[in-house]
Chains A and B, each alone.
Chain A
Amino acid sequence: MLEFPFKFESCRNKKGQMKIQQMIFMIIAVIILFAMVGLFFLSTAFSSLRKSATTLAQEESMLLVSRLANSPEFSCGNAFGNSKTNCVDFDKVAGLKNHIGEYSDFWGVAKIEIRKIYPSGEKLCTEANYPNCEIFKILDKNVNTLPYSHNFISLCRKELNDKITYDKCELALLMIASEDRTNGN
């Protein structure tokens, strides 16, 4: 007869323990959920950091394209009448190609290339076929690179026909690519 209140008390204790267990499980589940979300967030933040580093490198090379086209080593200067913006002297660049070893680290890029847009084609420039070619590789370091940044340029040279020497300007793209330093890091 004395056992009844004791049994009632133990039943209540058991229920309380169950509730505490339930709460502990719930708290653990919520902590795991938040930890997972946190991890996801961190990994996204890190990947976006890597992306923005790549974007910055690309933006920098995009600015460099314009700077390069107007630099003394490339620009037309006053050789083709008035000073022109984004005008590249093809003869000057062909000369530069022979001394590119001295300039390989000067611009801080891995590849520099000029590609004629019109007239278009896929013929690679050599000393033998210059200037009747479309792709002129000025610098190529043979490393992994980011995608090319490019800008339109006017590719000018002195052309001789049977009567006169005249200025011949064609439409081209100046393309540069920076070294990809994010790979494998």
Chain B
Amino acid sequence: MGIKYKSAQEEMVGFAVIMVIIAVILLILISFLSRNEDKEVVESYEIESFIQTALQYTSDCENELEFFSLQGLIVACEEGKPCLDGKDSCLILNSTVEKLVENGWQTGEQSSIKGYNFKIITNDKTTLEFKKGNETRNYKSGFQGFAKSRDNYEVTLDIYT
């Protein structure tokens, strides 16, 4: 009887060892398969080039010489200069930024982009902030800085995915 029990115990230990080995192999395989090699939804260089190109966008606000680029419009707004047709340059700036960012980064439940935060900072003070969607912990940022008449301007964009 004792020998029979011992033999059964040995069989059980053998079975348990095999199960453990199979479990370890499966775990290794699963971890190998679930390694995330996918491309990021948004890359930082995309945000950088968005800001860079958005700053070159020709706005509807003009002075005597030319139509302002977005960069020129930011400066005109900061210096309180109106457009040639009398419109407030800051209002044009707000609407232009809103349209550019909304068309460039479409957010929503179906989209992989959950939200964004666009900021214009002048001499370390936020002068314009435009937010949409949800802020998540996973985000990428872009930054572009320029200087004009002793003022330092920073344009930042955070994209939440």
Contacts and interface: CB of A to CB of B under 8 A. Distances in A.
Q: Say whether A associates with B.
A: yes
Interface of A: 30, 33, 37, 40-41, 44, 48, 51-52, 55, 58, 66, 84-87, 117-118, 120, 151-154, 156, 166-171
Given A37-B29, A44-B32, A86-B52, A170 B103 contact: no
A33 B29 CA distance: 14
Contacts of A167: 58, 66-67
Contacts of A44: 29, 32-33
Contact of A166 (B22, B32, B39, B67): B67
Given A168-B58, A171-B53, 20 more contacts: A33-B22, A44-B29, A48-B37, A51-B37, A55-B37, A66-B49, A87-B56, A117-B104, A118-B57, A118-B99, A118-B103, A152-B53, A153-B53, A154-B52, A154-B56, A166-B66, A168-B67, A169-B56, A169-B69, A171-B54
A120 B67 CA distance: 20
B99 A86 contact: no
A37 B37 contact: no
Contacts of A117: 100, 103-104
B157 to A, nearest CB: 11
Nearest to B104: A117
Nearest to A153: B53
B57 A154 contact: yes
A51 to B, nearest CB: 7
A84 B69 CA distance: 13
A170 B58 contact: yes
B25 interface: yes
B139 interface: no
11 contacts: A30-B18, A85-B52, A118-B99, A118-B104, A151-B49, A152-B46, A152-B52, A152-B104, A154-B56, A156-B56, A166-B58
Contact of B103 (A30, A52, A120): A120
B69 A118 contact: no
Contacts of B32: 41, 44
Nearest to A29: B18
Contacts of B53: 86-87, 152-154, 171
